[in-house]
Amino acid sequence: MYVESGRKTEQEAESTILRYEYKLDTGNDYNDMEEMFVDGTLSASEAERYLMEYGGMYRLDAQSTVREWECERETGIRYSDVRSLFVSGDLTASRAQDLRVRYGGASLDDARKTVLKWQCERDNGVSYEDIGGAWMSGDIAALQKEFS
The answer to whether 82 and 91 are in contact (CB under 8 A) is yes
The answer to whether 97 and 107 are in contact (CB under 8 A) is no
Mean pLDDT of 124-147: 63
Whether residue 17 is predicted with pLDDT greater than 70 in this model: the reply is yes
CA angle (109, 113, 114) in 5-degree steps:
115
Whether residue 144 is predicted with pLDDT greater than 60 in this model: the reply is no
Three-state SS for 91-102 is CCHHHHHHHHHH
Residues of the chain with pLDDT > 70: what percent? Answer: 81
Q: Could you report the per-residue pLDDT of 94-134, keeping only the tens digit for each? A: 999 999 999 999 999 999 999 999 998 888 776 776 666 66
